[in-house]
Amino acid sequence: MPPSFVPFIAWGETANSLGESFEALADMYEERVRVRSALLRTMVPPLVFVAVLLVVGWVAFSLFLPLLSLIISLGF
């Protein structure tokens, strides 16, 4: 049981309203899930963009490195 459950359960037992305390817990966790999913929806696209940018940069670098070494070996 998560430590954040304990105060809600204690409150529900002392006030004889255990159902209300569980409803409050459910609301709290639903809000937490909503906030985390919104955070993921805003963070994932920039992270994917950076990852794709790194892969494209690596591929471009690996394609032009042999050409650069050939030009250097020719003495230009």
Note the pLDDT tens digit of each residue in 38-49.
999 999 999 999
Burial 35-64 (b: 16+ CB within 10 A, else e): eeeeeeeeeeeeeeeeeeeeeeeeeeeeee
pLDDT tens across 31-73, in order?
A: 999 999 999 999 999 999 999 999 999 999 999 999 988 889 9
Task: Read off the pLDDT band of 76 (50, 70, 90).
Answer: low
pTM: 0.60
